[in-house]
Structure 1
Amino acid sequence: MQITHIFILVGYIALMIGVGLWFSRSKSVASGEDFLLAGRSLPAPVLAGTLLATFVGSGSIIGAASFIYQYGPWAGMFFFAGTFAGIIVLFFLAKRVHQLSKYTIPQLLEVRFGKPVRIIATVIILVAFIGITAYQFTGAGYIISLITPLTPVQGTIVAAVLITFLALGGGLKSVAWTDFLSIFIVAVSLIALAIYVFAVDLGGISSYVNALDPIKLTVTGGLTPLQLLGYFLPLFLLILGDQNMYQRLAAAASANTARTATIFFFIGAAIVIAPIILLASGSSVLQPGIEADMAILSLAGAEFSPLMLGGLLLTGAFALIVTTGSSYLLTCSGNIVHDLVGQIRGREVSDWQALVIGRMGVLGVALLAYVMVQFFPSVLALQIYAYTMYGVAITPALFAALFWKRATGVAVAVAMIVGGVVTITWEVQGLSEQVNAIIISLPITLVVLVVLSLLTQPRSPRVESGTHASLR
């Protein structure tokens, strides 16, 4: 425990609480649209910052770092390649998404496929996003336990309370601006630490390369191509269909602002991900045999970095995790307001009701996320499960709605259920230790979607003319 680290962390937490209180004012959050879409007023830099901070949370600082520690930098690049490929696709979708201006993905699906699909999509999204929120709690708890005398379990509780507070207060306005501030802390701390570790601890790039396990210098890091694909696809499919991404693009001040923000998002991702890959793989040289989840966070120790730099690293990582957790709590509350309560009532809720129910939803999801934390052995395992559940069940349905006119509601509904069931079954059976579930569940989902769509095409109405009929 270092007093310097505690002061830096406390200072960050105080700043975030101040921002949360500022945007909790009634005039900042006066309606459900203010709470969930920031009044559709976000400028490009803030929008880019919140896009980046939302996607780069404990899944990157802990989960991806664990993967890179085990399999090396080249495999790490392939792991993150799905992020960049997804951002490129988002660039071309940004204007269309902003123009659709839906609160949630299930709302968008209902326009094409009807209410049953909307309800099924809502349940699947909540299951996946509660999982993503859960590992943010775990990751932030790790960091608090490193800095303070608290245990990881106690740290997780503290983190859950802070993350929930930020989501409860000012909604997306609060989350977006804390994201924007946090991403600077993250980028500066990761870049500065990478320079220090490679210059001082590792003695330069050549020493690092010579000391790295030879198998980690290969493209696959010892994994089979199929196993490596099992790590690439979840990130790629998640970012393509992530409701958080779509909500933020809808919250932009204009359609052009949304597209500009995706360019900044791509650049920012490169700036943040490069040092993550270097630090995690460098940690495997400096600290062989440690718990892989701690690959980057452990470099904050006094033996590897100056106190101030180590404190910035831990605070930066904490910042990413907190803002990502708040984002997923917020987007889950949108599903509860519009896709569950609204559908049960048979009509959309009022602005005031959306605000109240949204905040109640945040609390409920936070409690469920804390319970889910107890059932997964590592952040990476929980991360891949959550990404796979969403990417397999939701992303194909979303792209069918946007781009395939022959897709039918029956086919989409069955495909979503089949994809979710296969993913959960694969995880429960422990088969993901050999091959990640997405390698099996994605092809099955796509086959079901395509085949059933072709088999359930609506028949054209018959037009009687004289003694014979023709099909239009």
Structure 2
Amino acid sequence: MDSVNHWGILLAVMFYEIVVIVGIGAFLKTRERKSSSCEIGGFTLAGRSLPWPVVGVTLALTVLGSPHIFGVLEMTWHIGAVSVWFGLAHVVLLVVACTSTGLWARRLNITTMPEMLSLIFGGTPRLMVSCVMAGMVWGILTLEAQGLGIIISTISGLPIAKGAIIGGMLGTLYVVLAGMKEIGWVNLVNCFIMYVGLILAFIYIAQGIPFGGWDGVAAVYLERGQGFMLSMTGTPQLLLTFGVGTVLATVTCHSVAQQLIQPALAAKDEKTIKKALWLAAPLNGFFCVFVVCIGLAAKIDPAVNSLGPKLAGPAMFMHYLPPWLIALLFATFLAAVLSSFAASVLAPATIFTIDIYKNFFRPNLCEKEEALVTRIGIVVLAALAIFAAGNMPPIVSAINWLFAWITPVFFLILFGLFWRRSSIAATTTLLVAWSVNMLWSFTSLAEVLGVADVPNVYPALISSLVVSIVMLLTTRTEPGLFRKQIFITA
């Protein structure tokens, strides 16, 4: 396909995104003008009014972005079908979020997860988690910006860094117009088209690859003595380090992280969150299966494998699909990554606005000013992420490292709601777990212990559990927040 057609596809993709984003944004802004100027949570939480289909789709797409598409394509190149555990981990995550952590957050009527830490443990843990969680989510944002750059680069031939600038501008527009309402309703429009495009692409590629379809791809790996690449269990080492490690990292981080919980907080009520699970889990879970198959084919396809792990998978779509399907598929891929980008830039901006600006400087912050400060935060954070996206590490490896930073927060919230709570215990647990994570990341500790392949989530999880339990058993504590509330009510 020549460069003119490439640019024609890019223009078609951009036209689709701009029409959907601006059209829905304008509609929502028109409705907003008719409502109260100080509606609580109107920009950051959609006025806590989203229905279950919007919540379900938004939960699914918030954690279905660059890592699920380009991260899994890249990881499949290296470790094969065991990469599907990244998708399975997010199904488990959505179950946990929709049946527990999301419900707890909605019940407490908070705006941010650090605010929940304040209710349980007080101001010091809230400030600590605000800073680290905002940084962690911003790290994810840089990976989403990288994914936007890969999409634009694949279509146009531009460098990934320049593609990230174009995609990042779209992502900023996505969220800055109407906040969480914009994210939710645009997601609903895009989701159906995304799955139609992916299924059609899967069929077309199966007919075009020079191995006799997907069975032929499997035969090539078997002939090469790489049968483990076809198994979702891989090798015992891969299953333990990547498979189980990814499930632990994803669930203990994202189930209490701001960018996933924020759509749950925007739901009408707890019943809406529970109902949303039945849409969110299958929409997210099936996606990885398609992507892993395409990644396996890309690694052995002579037409694209010279491009390497980051670009070979995306290049397959350009090589085997007709122009109309390329435009449809990349428009929906871009929509998925834009959704995650939007959620990942809204989350730290919300944390800054609520947990820093409002908490310390403007306790009586009006909705209009809250929206303004959040929008400024969105623009600044997006610009920084776009700048960093041009030179980033492998996506899934980086994201699992980022997840480990929030692991102690998961256990502190669990214990603090249902068992015991202590500000000293929480502060100590956070400091120890983060110190262990730093040592594991930036020193030779793992190599000295002979466990260099063990991901950060394991030491973060073990240190979090041990320190929090010991501290809660040996220091002065209060009953868990929900236990205390039940006791008072009784």
Partner of residue 219, structure 2: 210
Q: Is contact 2:405-2:460 (8 Å) kept?
A: no
Which residue of the partner structure matches residue 296 of structure 1? Answer: 313
Q: Give me the whole-angstrom Cα distance separating, in 2, the residues matched to 1:69 and 1:459.
A: 50
**Amino acid of the residue matched to residue 435 of structure 2?**
V
Answer whether contact 1:38 1:251 (CA < 8 A) is retained.
yes
Shift of residue 170, structure 1, vs aligned partner: 0.4
Cα separation, 2, equivalents of 1:435 and 1:395: 20
Q: Give me the whole-angstrom Cα distance separating, in 2, the residues matched to 1:28 and 1:52.
A: 30
- What are the residue-to-residue correspondences of 1:254-333 with 2, within 5 Å? 254-286=269-301, 287-288=304-305, 290-302=307-319, 304-333=320-349
In structure 2, do the counterparts of structure 1 residues 411 and 346 end up closer, same or farther at CA, with 3 Å as the change threshold? farther
**Matched residue pairs, number?**
456
Percent identical among aligned pairs is 21
Name the CA distance, whole Å, in 2 between partners of 1:332 and 1:441: 22
Q: Which residue of 2 aligns with 1:101?
A: 109
Q: Deviations over 1:61-110 (max 9, x none)?
A: 0112222232222x123332221222222232254443222110011111
**Aligned equivalents of 1:394 and 1:353: distance in 2?**
29
Aligned AA (1:76): S
Q: Which amino acid aligns with 1:90?
A: A
Cα-to-partner distance string for 1:147-202 (whole Å, 9 max, x where unaligned): 22532111111222221222211010111112222222321221111122223324
Q: Deviations over 1:201-258 (max 9, x none)?
A: 2423422221223231344434444322333322222332232232211211232222
1:193 equivalent in alignment to 2:220: no
- Of 386, 409, 421, which aligns to 1:407? 421
Aligned pair 1:14/2:18, yes or no?
A: yes
How far does residue 330 in structure 1 lie from its aligned partner after superposition? 1.0
CA separation in 2, counterparts of 1:285 and 1:232?
28
Deviation sequence 1:384-412 (CA, Å, 0-9, x none): 2222223x243222222333x22322111
The 1:248–1:418 alpha-carbon spacing in structure 2 relative to 1, beyond 3 Å, is same
Cα 1:186–1:378 shift into 2, 3 Å: same
Residue type of the partner of 2:73?
Answer: A
5+ residue gaps in structure 2?
480-490
Counterparts of 1:111-130 in structure 2, within 5 Å, are 111-130=119-138
Question: How far is 1:374 from its partner?
Answer: 5.7
Q: For residues 245 and 282 of structure 1, do their structure 2 counterparts lie closer, same or farther at Cα, with a shift above 3 Å needed?
A: same
Distance 1:417 1:457, change over 3 A: same
CA contact (8 A) 1:130 1:368 kept: no
Alignment partner, residue 476 of structure 2? 457
Distance in 1 (CA, whole Å) between partners of 2:396 and 2:257 is 18
Instruction: Give the conservation status (yes or no) of the 8 Å contact 1:338–1:348.
Output: no
Q: How far apart in 2 are the matches of 1:326 and 1:315?
A: 16
Preserved contact between residue 55 and residue 267 of structure 2 (Cα < 8 Å): yes
Question: C-alpha root-mean-square deviation of aligned residues, in Å?
Answer: 2.5
Summarize the Cα distance change of 1:273–1:459 in structure 2 as closer, same or farther, 3 Å threshold: closer
Moved more, 246-255 or 172-181: 246-255
Alignment of 1:48-87 (within 5 A): 48-73=56-81, 75-87=82-94
Contact 1:182 1:319 (C-alpha < 8 Å) held by counterparts: yes
Q: In the TM superposition, what whole-angstrom CA distance separates every residue of 1:255-306 from its partner, at most 9, and x where no partner exists?
A: 222211111111212332321222222322325454222353122223x222
Structure 2 distance, partners of 1:307, 1:416, is: 51
Q: 1:434 maps to what in 2?
A: 453
Q: CA deviation at 1:434?
A: 3.1
CA 375–399 in structure 1, closer or farther in 2 if over 3 Å, else same: farther
Assess, with a 3 A threshold, how the Cα gap between structure 1 residues 290 and 11 changes in structure 2: closer, same or farther: same
Q: Corresponding residue for 1:227?
A: 241
Give 2:409's aligned residue.
Answer: 394
Asked whether 1:448 is paired with 2:467, we answer yes
**Separation in structure 1 between the aligned mates of residue 350 and residue 327 of structure 2, nearest angstrom:** 35
CA distance in 1, matches of 2:13, 2:478: 63
Q: Which residue of 2 aligns with 1:236?
A: 251
**Deviation string, structure 1 residues 331-364 (Cα, Å, up to 9, x no partner):** 1121111101122127352222212211122123
Confirm or deny: 8 A CA contact 1:9 1:315 kept in the other structure. yes
Say if 1:389 and 1:64 are closer, same or farther in 2 by CA, change over 3 A.
Answer: farther
* Residue identity in the other structure for 2:316: L
- Bigger mean CA deviation after superposition, 246-255 or 422-431: 422-431
What's the counterpart of residue 465 of structure 1? none
2:369 pairs with 1:353: yes
Aligned equivalent of 1:27, options 2, 22, 33: 33
Rate the CA distance shift 1:187–1:296 in 2: closer, same or farther, 3 A. Answer: farther
- Indicate conservation of the 8 Å contact 1:143/1:297, yes or no: yes
Amino acid at match of 2:168: A
The secondary structure found in structure 2 opposite 1:42 is coil
The TM-score with structure 1 as length reference comes to 0.89
| Alpha-carbon distance, 1:51 to partner | 0.9
Tell me which moved more, 134-143 or 368-377: 368-377
CA distance change for structure 1 residues 349 and 86 in 2, over 3 Å: closer, same or farther? same
Please tell me the residue identity of whatever aligns with 2:68.
S
